[in-house]
Amino acid sequence: MSAYDEVEIEDMEWNAELKAYTYPCPCGDLFQITLEDLRLGEEIARCPSCSLFLTVVYNAEDFADAKEPNHKPGPSPVAVA
């Protein structure tokens, strides 16, 4: 079976709640690959809702001692009177 697509890790988004890098799946859910998977050299991101999977392109050396990415806070809401 072949991968649905090949995606660069830079194109994926860190999801702190799932503790995984994610990418939109055509089924409406998200492909997911954890930091631990990346440390172990895994390159397959799976969708938990369907049978599709992605090949994730990344440099394994970048994740050998990686910690969770810092969550970048969005802009603060502004009260309007």
The tokens for 15 are: 């999801």
Give pLDDT tens digits for 15-68.
999 899 999 999 999 999 999 999 999 999 999 999 999 999 999 888 777 666
The tokens for 27 are: 């089924």
The residue type of 48 is P
CATH node for 5-59: 3.10.660.10
Sequence ranges of the domains in the chain: 5-59
The tokens for 51 are: 């049978």
Measuring CA to CA, how many Å separate 34 from each of 28, 47, 65, 76, 79? 19, 12, 14, 28, 37
pLDDT confidence of residue 76: 56
Residues 6+ apart with CB under 8 A from 49: 25, 27, 28, 29
Band of pLDDT at residue 2, cut at 50, 70 and 90: confident
